[in-house]
Structure 1
Amino acid sequence: MVFCGRVNPTTGALDWVEEDEDYDYHQEIARSSYADMLHDKDRNEKYYQGIRAAVKRVKERGEEAIVLDIGTGTGLLSMMAVTAGADYCYAIEVFTPMAEAAIQIVKANGFGDKIKVINKHSKEVTLGPDGDMMQRANILITELFDTELIGEGALPSYEHAQQNLMQERWEAVPHRATVYAQVVESHRLWSMNKLLPINLDHGLIKPPLELQTCPGAPSVCDVQLSQLSTDDFNTLSDIMVIFRVDFSQQVSSTTVSHPVNFTSNANGEAQVVLSWWDIDMDPEGTINCTMKPGWLYSDDHSVPWRDHWMQCVYFLPEERKVTLGEELCLTAHQDDYCVWYTLMKPGAEDSSPVSDERPICHCGAHIIWNRTRFGELNDQGRLKKYKEAMRKVLKPSSVCMCISDGSLLPLLAHTMGAAQVFTVESSSMSQQVMQKLLQTNHLKGAIPVLQKSPEKITLPWHNLYFWYSRSALSDNLVEGCTVFPMSATLYVLAVEFKDLWRIRSPCGICEGFDVSIMDAMIKKSLDFRESQEAEPHALWEYPCRALSQPVKVMTFDFRKTIPVNDVKSEGSVSLVRSGRCHGVVLWMEYQLTEDISVSTGLLEVSNEKGYCQWYPHSKQGVFFLNSVLELGPSSTQTYSSVTYQLTFSPKLGDIEMNFLPNP
């Protein structure tokens, strides 16, 4: 046995937990997303077509087809290559559990004599009689891409392989990649990156100038853009080709900029760059796999679903007013792992001292707040409920202590007439951001800022941090004081997902190859650790149908301190609609007062078919059932409900759960 340090998901404290010696191995397998890629039929078919075409081109030149497959995963692309006529394939996989799985899968499908799986990073692979590869390859197959295309280190890997492991002339699958972008104005997306001014009854909460001019977090925001409505943004440019990468030529990982001049097609505030890419599997571009969002497809064309490749949202460093017909230059700056954008007048980028620098947060807010938190702070509907609730509980004599972590509630309580307001921040960075907010709004000194540690942010769908902090401060609270929010209720809902089920669904046979060994390994690892855990997902991006009514399963009374003993809850969720039940969604609803609450999950079920609308500024918990429940008149199964067993451990700060179908 080994001891693993694990951050308590609710209290933030570091707990030492005894685990099996294979814990890390099973964690890596369980959290891999290979099922999603294997279920991506469009991707698989396009790769197969491209590989067949590449092998054919090499054979027509009278050469042996020697394949180098970097990032082979399950070995699927290598097996495709041998089936297409390749003479030999070197399959590189640095992730040890996957390399071991690939070896077994390759042997099980009868390709052990033509595919060599090498468990190394491609930069460590050696050539020669005593090396990993006997000879250089002339076909380069890769699947090293992420939502941003290059974020997984694709360019350095290509650069090294082409220089050291390939023949002078090679074929590449994919053959090339093209990155597209469009400049838009979007209040919804911009509110995920900047704190916007907030109107109150007696004034305005203004964000610090430093926050408004901060370029923000350097990482891309990957989103299922297909789930955005076209009403959520106003296009200010046409869709533009930003840059291309030709993988049949020598690739460079050197930092480079790609300026593209364009004429704006509308008036507005340029705030956001939407971006995606496609890959041509052949030189002619006849075999194309695209990541474009669903609203760019024609009505008669089905939209391929994939979660391993989504679309990109890039926030410009500052919003910029543009007018119809204005000449502008959008520049993509690209290093070996990252892309970022600037928008200027044509030629101005040459004189800019910062345009080539990767954006880094200098205000602190983008470090303590993630994008869902920005959206939550800017949510006017949620703020309205908080104001209504605070009017019910605040008195001119009220002394308020806000357990804040960057919340706007201290400012709200002060402007609504509380006699004294204190705010407790859990980190020095959060304390600094709050001080900037107070200074900007001329409240420095009016609201004392206290720092309390070590509590930190918690899992996104069952945030009980407030309860732990309130309990820790109980000695500072007068008898009968108002606790706000007063409680939280955990809800569950049985659902049918349109597509999200694929990330946990077994593949068995994929494009004619048996990959069931991978299914067995993932299942074993999930059973080992994760069978009693829910995964956080932003469900506004993943359509689903409700197959039950929402059910209250556990309530946490914040007016009382945290209990000493475990809290248990058992019951069942009745299934009221036909469909395919993939799992159960969990979320919290916070009771501010007796009659006012805010939800972090289900907002409404839209019609008789059960389509769900989810709160977009929080993630929800998803518990996938071990097997899909087929419900309805034509089904041979007769499940009527899903039973649940939940245990909240105050010591661990987590909820252990299990859901089982009930005939």
Structure 2
Amino acid sequence: MSTNTYFTEYENLEIHELMLKDRPRQAAYFEAILGNKELFKDKVVMDVGAGTGILSAFCAKAGARLVYAIEASNVATKVALDLIQDNGLTNVVKVINSRVEEFVLPTTAEKVDIIVSEWMGFYLLHEGMLDSVLYARDNFLKEDGLLFPSECTIFVAPCSVPSLYDDWNNVDGINMATFASKLRAQKSSKPSVLSVEPKDLLHEGVVFHWMNLLDVTVDELNCIEFKDVVALQKNGNHQGFCIWFEVRFPGDNSVVLSTSPEAPQTHWKQVVLVLPEEICENMEAREPVAFKICMKRSGDDARKYNLEVDQLDPETEEHPVPCPCHMTKCILTEAHLKMMDTS
């Protein structure tokens, strides 16, 4: 996807409608900004990828002295300008139709105190917009400045995917298991965006990756690898790996926006890496699942990532200590640790 195509897509107002109707998303930014007015009072703020300008308006209402609402698509002139004018905020919010990489601060202007952005994509990094936020951080943020959000975490958990497995065993009395197998093979070549029911998680999830946005670099986003052994926490069919994320905002009124299956649904839903065929049906709680996931930026399109998962042998992989799985070595290790605690 070219940069021009990417920004042109955001001229479709239905995309903004989807985001604005996402109540967990909206509520998190509202609470993070308006709930921390002391951080915004009389401050200079930059909103990277301002879209309709609603986050810039939040910043102005929180007491910011000046807000640069930077938006590369034509939504800046077609929507954001009107929104700021309609809300009487033109004396505070300056809408700028530009990529942040091409923006230049006025010669007499100071760097900004806060950068606000809603840059997250599917599995957190899809769309590569974090690159632009980090560019703004490195070029426009004061040394003691703040980022909203400031931290982010990616989680992964083994899961069942009945919508691609069990639901096809009987379609109006017809067994379509062979069709489902071909469908999974097709879908296994790329991540699937699904709403995963909490009951379909076979584990509460482990941290795949964590970032402090004040110090992460663009190069560190090019490839993220994670390997682990987890013990299933419930019985079920292992049919895929569910990925979700959460972001945390700074301030005493600390706000977390989560896309977990356990949290209220967002437009991001969850991303599932579907296994072409079940590794094992009717797995039991405490069975170990060993795996490695690689999230690598696409060479053809830097805004997309290739996600690959490899199933590993839990017999040969190193387990965390303690590990609650039912393998003998882990049971013995756990018993030994308990004896040491009581001695």
* TM-score using structure 2 length: 0.70
Q: Distance in 2 between matches of 1:166 and 1:119?
A: 20
> Does residue 1:221 correspond to 2:203, yes or no?
no
Instruction: Specify every segment of 5 or more residues in structure 1 that has no aligned partner in the other structure, as ranges.
Output: 1-24, 298-302, 351-663
Aligned partner (choices 36, 45, 65) of residue 43 of structure 2? 65
Letter in 2 for 1:152: E
Q: Distance in 2 between matches of 1:347 and 1:93?
A: 52
Describe the shift of the 1:70–1:160 C-alpha distance in structure 2 as closer, same or farther (beyond 3 A).
same
Query: Aligned residue for 2:115?
Result: 140
Amino-acid identity (%): 21
Q: Distance in 1 between matches of 2:195 and 2:103?
A: 36
Which structure shows the bigger proportion of residues in helix conformation?
2
How far the C-alpha of 1:255 sits from its partner, in A, is 0.9
Q: Distance in 2 between matches of 1:158 and 1:318?
A: 39
Q: Distance in 2 between matches of 1:68 and 1:310?
A: 28
8 A contact 1:54–1:139 mirrored in 2: no
Query: Aligned residue for 1:578?
Result: none
Query: Aligned residue for 2:143?
Result: 168
How far the C-alpha of 1:54 sits from its partner, in A, is 5.3
Query: Aligned residue for 2:89?
Result: 111
Describe the shift of the 1:31–1:127 C-alpha distance in structure 2 as closer, same or farther (beyond 3 A).
closer
Letter in 1 for 2:30: Y
- Show CA shifts across 1:378-409 (max 9, x none): xxxxxxxxxxxxxxxxxxxxxxxxxxxxxxxx
> Does residue 1:38 correspond to 2:20, yes or no?
yes
Query: Aligned residue for 1:310?
Result: 269
Q: Distance in 1 between matches of 2:71 and 2:317?
A: 40
Describe the shift of the 1:323–1:88 C-alpha distance in structure 2 as closer, same or farther (beyond 3 A).
same
> Does residue 1:126 correspond to 2:104, yes or no?
yes
- Show CA shifts across 1:406-460 (max 9, x none): xxxxxxxxxxxxxxxxxxxxxxxxxxxxxxxxxxxxxxxxxxxxxxxxxxxxxxx
Aligned partner (choices 318, 329, 332) of residue 290 of structure 2? 329
How far the C-alpha of 1:169 sits from its partner, in A, is 2.4
Asked which structure has the greater CA Rg, the reply is 1
8 A contact 2:40–2:63 mirrored in 1: no
Aligned partner (choices 204, 226, 243) of residue 258 of structure 1? 226
Query: Aligned residue for 1:156?
Result: 131
Alignment partner of 2:51: what SS? coil
- Show CA shifts across 1:465-510 (max 9, x none): xxxxxxxxxxxxxxxxxxxxxxxxxxxxxxxxxxxxxxxxxxxxxx
Aligned partner (choices 158, 170, 173) of residue 183 of structure 1? 158
How far the C-alpha of 1:261 sits from its partner, in A, is 3.0
Alignment partner of 2:14: what SS? coil
Q: Distance in 2 between matches of 1:206 and 1:105?
A: 52
How far the C-alpha of 1:41 sits from its partner, in A, is 3.8
Query: Aligned residue for 2:207?
Result: 241
Letter in 1 for 2:212: D
Describe the shift of the 1:36–1:205 C-alpha distance in structure 2 as closer, same or farther (beyond 3 A).
closer
Q: Distance in 1 between matches of 2:216 and 2:103?
A: 19
8 A contact 2:71–2:96 mirrored in 1: yes
Q: Distance in 1 between matches of 2:34 and 2:183?
A: 52
How far the C-alpha of 1:76 sits from its partner, in A, is 0.8
How far the C-alpha of 1:78 sits from its partner, in A, is 0.7
The equivalences for 1:237-636 within 5 A come to 237-252=203-218, 253-266=221-234, 269-282=237-250, 286-293=254-261, 296=262, 303=264, 306=266, 308-316=267-275, 319-321=278-280, 324-336=285-297, 337-338=304-305, 339-345=307-313
8 A contact 1:242–1:260 mirrored in 2: no
Alignment partner of 2:131: what SS? helix
Describe the shift of the 1:81–1:211 C-alpha distance in structure 2 as closer, same or farther (beyond 3 A).
closer
Which structure shows the bigger proportion of residues in strand conformation?
1
How far the C-alpha of 1:65 sits from its partner, in A, is 1.6
How far the C-alpha of 1:167 sits from its partner, in A, is 1.9
8 A contact 2:45–2:116 mirrored in 1: yes
8 A contact 1:73–1:93 mirrored in 2: yes
| Count of aligned pairs | 295
Letter in 1 for 2:155: Y
8 A contact 1:175–1:283 mirrored in 2: no
Alignment partner of 2:58: what SS? helix
Describe the shift of the 1:155–1:119 C-alpha distance in structure 2 as closer, same or farther (beyond 3 A).
same
Q: Distance in 2 between matches of 1:150 and 1:36?
A: 19
- Show CA shifts across 1:271-327 (max 9, x none): 21123222222356832222233xx36xxxxx4x54x32222221366423665344
Q: Distance in 2 between matches of 1:245 and 1:285?
A: 20
How far the C-alpha of 1:102 sits from its partner, in A, is 0.6
Tell me which moved more, 152-161 or 310-319: 310-319
Q: Distance in 2 between matches of 1:178 and 1:171?
A: 18
The higher relative CO (CA closer than 8 Å, separation ≥ 6) is in 2
Q: Distance in 2 between matches of 1:27 and 1:206?
A: 36
Q: Distance in 1 between matches of 2:117 and 2:12?
A: 23
8 A contact 2:158–2:203 mirrored in 1: yes
Alignment partner of 1:147: what SS? coil
How far the C-alpha of 1:213 sits from its partner, in A, is 7.7
Describe the shift of the 1:142–1:212 C-alpha distance in structure 2 as closer, same or farther (beyond 3 A).
closer
Q: Distance in 2 between matches of 1:57 and 1:347?
A: 51
Q: Distance in 1 between matches of 2:68 and 2:148?
A: 15
- Show CA shifts across 1:168-187 (max 9, x none): 22211122222233212334
Q: Distance in 1 between matches of 2:256 and 2:70?
A: 25
Q: Distance in 2 between matches of 1:205 and 1:52?
A: 51
Q: Distance in 1 between matches of 2:229 and 2:77?
A: 45
Q: Distance in 2 between matches of 1:170 and 1:267?
A: 47
Instruction: Specify every segment of 5 or more residues in structure 2 that has no aligned partner in the other structure, as ranges.
Output: 1-6, 298-303, 319-343
Q: Distance in 2 between matches of 1:146 and 1:205?
A: 32
- Show CA shifts across 1:18-61 (max 9, x none): xxxxxxx99975553222332334432321221245552466xx
8 A contact 2:156–2:244 mirrored in 1: yes
8 A contact 2:153–2:210 mirrored in 1: yes
Q: Distance in 2 between matches of 1:149 and 1:266?
A: 27
Describe the shift of the 1:119–1:205 C-alpha distance in structure 2 as closer, same or farther (beyond 3 A).
closer
Describe the shift of the 1:290–1:114 C-alpha distance in structure 2 as closer, same or farther (beyond 3 A).
same
Alignment partner of 2:226: what SS? strand
8 A contact 2:51–2:75 mirrored in 1: no
